[in-house]
Every structure is written in structure tokens, then in C-alpha cells.
Amino acid sequence: MPPSAVPDVAAASLAAALTTPAAPHDHPLDHLSLGKIVQIRERLLAAQAAGKRVYRFESGDPSFAPPAHVIDAITQAAHAGKTHYVPNNGIPELRRALARKVAEKNGLTSATADDIFVTNGAMHALFVAFGALLLPGDEVIIPDPMWTEVAENIRLAGAVPVGVPLRADADYAYRVDDIRGAITPRTAAIFLNTPHNPTGAVLSRDALAGILELARAHDLWIVSDEAYEDVIYAPHVHHSIGALARPDERRVVSIFSFSKSHAMSGLRTGYIVTNDPVLHDRIPKLLRCTINGVNSVAQWAALAAITGSDRHIVEMREVYHERRDTMLRALTGIPGVRPFAPRGAFYVWAELDPSVYERLEVADADALATMLADQGIGSAPGDAFGNSCSDALRFAFSCDTTMVREGSVLLREALT
């Protein structure tokens, strides 16, 4: 090639690059959405900016402050210079304390500090657990409806979420027979969440034992999301499926969070418990390459939370109970609206008859959520949570009590 041709070729290809549109490509992230709840939140914030009072029933962020001893621990850690890199899997003090906590409180009696992996909230725990467990094409059975990010994290691992519809006439139980019916040769894991977001259903010990038996029979992993373990209403109690597994059994991966139990949602601290040696090897690699250890002061705060008084949990539950009843009363007796009394978590899930859409002159639950948002009332439309539940709305009562009281009155008016 004559030397003079070189600049011509370069100029020609640069011109082509500038004039030809980028080749279309299919990236896995293009199939994930930031979610309908975010859109509703944006409408609410716009209404708020326009001077309207808004009622934040669309998202589940505890209104409480973390307990005082947790805040003190943050300040002390910062002043003591505990602001440097920390061990990848979590500070040893916290991992030891969490091993004691899950043994005593959750019945995971054989857990040791080596079985604990501190994550950037339960959200990140899901990302890490699914990333460490799954291969592209694997299937994971999940409840439908289910908090959206579970399915998205399964997809991020290249795997496929397979929803098992939960039904109002079965109190939204995640039933063994339905799960069994969803198992295929590609099923790798059963995911469960108790207390459940969005319905507030709670799995009994017997139900968990049935799911564990099924997983044994088909040699499946179990991923158990227990982020709401402390937000539960008597007489219901929280059971951890890991407590039912044999000490030498390695199939249960348990996920916990400080966000709801200690109102530490912004401190982004959660943890995975697993005794599986392969996961012990894989999880640190994902932790290393995603966060390289959770924020140091948040970990010292988490240590204070787990070792200090947990009196606030009882108080918090009482307040949530009162808010729950306020919201339930407001939603009860409205024609075509069927709220479920949650047994745990802080959401009221209400299924809707089409007659509601006719009465309110909207096309569907999505449009209804938008209409409510324009009036300053947050909600999350059913189809944000799966494929089988588009005729429903979820209302969170984690915002402060005054907001729940005032907003519930307006919500009733808006739906009636």
C-alpha cells in the first residue's frame, strides 16, 4: 500500500464512524428496568415541588431513626480513625457477632464467623448470592408477586426467574405443590421471602419444612430473604428455613438486612449466611470486585446494633401495627378493593376488581397509581411485582404515623 493511502483510509473510516449510527446491540442491562415505582416517586416529587402535600406510600423506607447507640457507634468509629480499608468479607468483630446472632435468634446453630459475608444491604446480598450460585440459563423459582429486584438480580446473573402465582384465597401462601409444578431440569434454586414483600404473607414452620423437603428431593439450592424478620405482627412469628436444615447440609443461603430491623436503610448493611465451601470461595471474589468491603463506619454501627439493646424492635413493631390498622381500616369496605391484612412487613396489598377502574375512569391499576400520584398519594402498581398480579396496588405504611393517618383518609376518598 503506498504510504499516501494511509491518511485517506484513516479519514474515510473516521468519516464512516461519524456518519454511521452505532450498530444495534443487545446488552443484558437493556432488559432491566429501573421500575415503575421510581416513575411514581418522580411524579410525587414533582407534585411536592408544586407545593402539594404528598403521602409516600410507594416505597418502603422506615420513618424511624436508628437507635441512639448505633448513631454513637458511627461517630466513635469515625473519630477513632476506623475509616480505612476493611477486610473484604466484613470486619471480624461483626462477623463473629452475626454468627452468634443467627445461632441464637434464627436457629442457624452451627454458623461460624466464616459463614458470614457482610454486604451492601440485602439488595447486594441478592446480587452476590445469585451471581455466585447461578449459571446462564439456570431457572430460579420465585413467588409472584415479588419485590421486583429479586427477579432483576436473577436476570443479572444470566438466569431466568420463574414465578409461582400466589393467590388471595390461599392468603398468598407460597405452596409446595405450586413450587413443585414449576420445577424443570433447569431449576437451580427456590427463592423465598418471609415476611413477604409485597403481600405481607408469612411462611409457617411447616410450610418451610415442606419447601426444604422439596429442595432436597430435587437437589436444589434455597435462597431465603429474611430482610423483614423483625417486622412481624403477633401471633405470627418469624422462622428461618436454615434452622430446619441439617448442620452438614449446604443448600440454604440466608440473607438478612439491617435496613428494616434497625432503620439503617441508608447505611446499606446486610449479610449472607452460607456454610457451603464453594460459595465460601466464590462470594469473596464478588465482594472484592464489587465493593471490596462494606463502608467501615456502617459496619461498626451494625456491630452496635446487633450487640446493643433491641428494645426498639418491640416499639417499632407496635407503631407499625397501629399504622397497619389505620391503613387497613381506610381500605376496607371500598367496593372492588380487597386489601390483605399483612402478617409481616409494612405493606398493604390490595387486589382490585375492574369495576374500580370503571368507577374511577382509569384504564388499569397502572393508570390508577398515576392518578393517585397526581393527587399526592404514592402507591406501587401490581405489575411492578410480576406477571400474575396486574390488578392490584401496594401501599407502604413505613412513612411516619401522621402521614399514614392523613394519607389514608385521602386514599379512601380517592378510591371511593
Ligand X SMILES: Cc1ncc(COP(=O)(O)O)c(C=O)c1O
List residues near ligand X by CB under 6 A: 60, 121-123, 147, 193, 197, 225, 227, 257, 259, 265, 270
Which one, 142 or 411, has the nearer CB to ligand X? 142
Q: Could you give the CA distance from residue 254 to residue 267 in angstroms, rounded to a whole number?
A: 20
Tell me how far, at minimum, the Cβ of 104 lies from ligand X, in Å.
21
In terms of Cα–Cα distance, which of 233, 227, 87 is closest to 146? 227
Report the residue number whose CB is nearest to ligand X. Answer: 121
Q: How many residues are there in the chain?
A: 416
Question: For residue 292, what is its C-alpha cell?
Answer: 471490596
Q: Could you give the CA distance from residue 68 to residue 51 in angstroms, rounded to a whole number?
A: 33
Q: Could you give the CA distance from residue 264 to residue 369 in angstroms, rounded to a whole number?
A: 28
Which one, 90 or 356, has the nearer CB to ligand X? 90
Which one, 227 or 294, has the nearer CB to ligand X? 227
Give one DSSP letter per residue of 175-218, joined into a string: -HHHHHHH--TTEEEEEEESSPTTT-----HHHHHHHHHHHHHT
Tell me how far, at minimum, the Cβ of 60 lies from ligand X, in Å.
5
Q: Could you give the CA distance from residue 291 to residue 51 in angstroms, rounded to a whole number?
A: 39
Tell me how far, at minimum, the Cβ of 331 lies from ligand X, in Å.
20
Q: Could you give the CA distance from residue 339 to residue 138 in angstroms, rounded to a whole number?
A: 35
Tell me how far, at minimum, the Cβ of 317 lies from ligand X, in Å.
17
Question: For residue 43, what is its C-alpha cell?
Answer: 411524579
Tell me how far, at minimum, the Cβ of 269 lies from ligand X, in Å.
7
Q: Could you give the CA distance from residue 305 to residue 282 in angstroms, rounded to a whole number?
A: 28
Q: What angle do CA 413, 322, 268 make, to 5 degrees?
A: 100
Give one DSSP letter per residue of 221-252, joined into a string: EEEEE-TTTT-B-TT-----GGGGS-TT---E
Give me the half-sphere count of Cα atoms (radius 13 Å) on the Cβ side of residue 372.
33
Q: Could you give the CA distance from residue 259 to residue 100 in angstroms, rounded to a whole number?
A: 19
Q: Could you give the CA distance from residue 379 to residue 391 in angstroms, rounded to a whole number?
A: 13
Q: What angle do CA 73, 288, 162 make, to 5 degrees?
A: 100
Which one, 95 or 394, has the nearer CB to ligand X? 394
Which one, 197 or 275, has the nearer CB to ligand X? 197
Which one, 173 or 415, has the nearer CB to ligand X? 173
* Bridge partners, 143 (sequence order): 164
Which one, 356 or 398, has the nearer CB to ligand X? 398
Tell me how far, at minimum, the Cβ of 267 lies from ligand X, in Å.
9
Which one, 55 or 347, has the nearer CB to ligand X? 347
CB 77 within 8 A of CB 300: yes
How remote is the C-alpha of 112 from its chain's centroid? 25
Tell me how far, at minimum, the Cβ of 265 lies from ligand X, in Å.
5
Tell me how far, at minimum, the Cβ of 150 lies from ligand X, in Å.
7
CB neighbours (10 Å) of residue 254?
Answer: 26
Which one, 257 or 296, has the nearer CB to ligand X? 257
How remote is the C-alpha of 313 from its chain's centroid? 19
Which one, 193 or 296, has the nearer CB to ligand X? 193
Which one, 60 or 293, has the nearer CB to ligand X? 60
Q: Could you give the CA distance from residue 289 to residue 128 in angstroms, rounded to a whole number?
A: 11
Tell me how far, at minimum, the Cβ of 250 lies from ligand X, in Å.
22
Tell me how far, at minimum, the Cβ of 201 lies from ligand X, in Å.
12
Tell me how far, at minimum, the Cβ of 147 lies from ligand X, in Å.
4
